[in-house]
């Protein structure tokens, strides 16, 4: 939640697309919200929470104010292959 300063150990994972609306429980469809903001998202009228494909969370208040946040450590680049995959690869052919 943009601007939330609650301790990380006190957060709930919440679906961006509701589970009841066939939203999958996958990493790309989950965001961390403190209990207070999770309840606002779930029960308060007029609030809009949109989880974008790039990981940003857009929150719109009932008065129309929008705030956007990005998860810490988020990287748009694909993760590199783990180093042990080099050990599983076949050896390079010997030059002739």
29: left (phi over 0), alpha (psi -120 to 50) or beta: alpha
What's the pLDDT tens digit per position in 2-32? Answer: 778 887 677 888 888 888 888 898 888 888 8
Whether this model's pTM surpasses 0.75: no
Q: What is the pLDDT of residue 46?
A: 93
Asked whether the beta carbons of 57 and 72 are under 8 A apart, the reply is no
Q: What is the pLDDT of residue 63?
A: 93
- Number of Cβ within a 10 Å radius of residue 41: 20
Which ranges of the chain does DSSP label H, i.e. alpha helix? 35-43, 84-88
Separation CA 30–CA 26 (nearest Å):
7
Q: What is the pLDDT of residue 79?
A: 64
- In 3D space, the residue among 36, 13, 35, 40 whose CA is nearest the CA of residue 24 turns out to be 13
């Amino acid at each position: 939640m943009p601007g939330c300063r609650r301790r990380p150990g006190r957060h709930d994972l919440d679906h961006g697309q509701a589970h009841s609306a066939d939203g999958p429980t996958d990493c790309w469809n989950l965001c961390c919200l403190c209990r207070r903001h999770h309840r606002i998202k779930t029960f308060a009228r007029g609030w809009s929470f949109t989880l974008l494909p790039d990981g940003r969370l857009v929150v719109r208040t009932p008065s129309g104010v929008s705030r956007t946040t990005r998860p810490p450590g988020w990287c748009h680049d694909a993760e590199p292959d783990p180093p042990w995959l080099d050990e599983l690869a076949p050896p390079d052919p010997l030059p002739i």
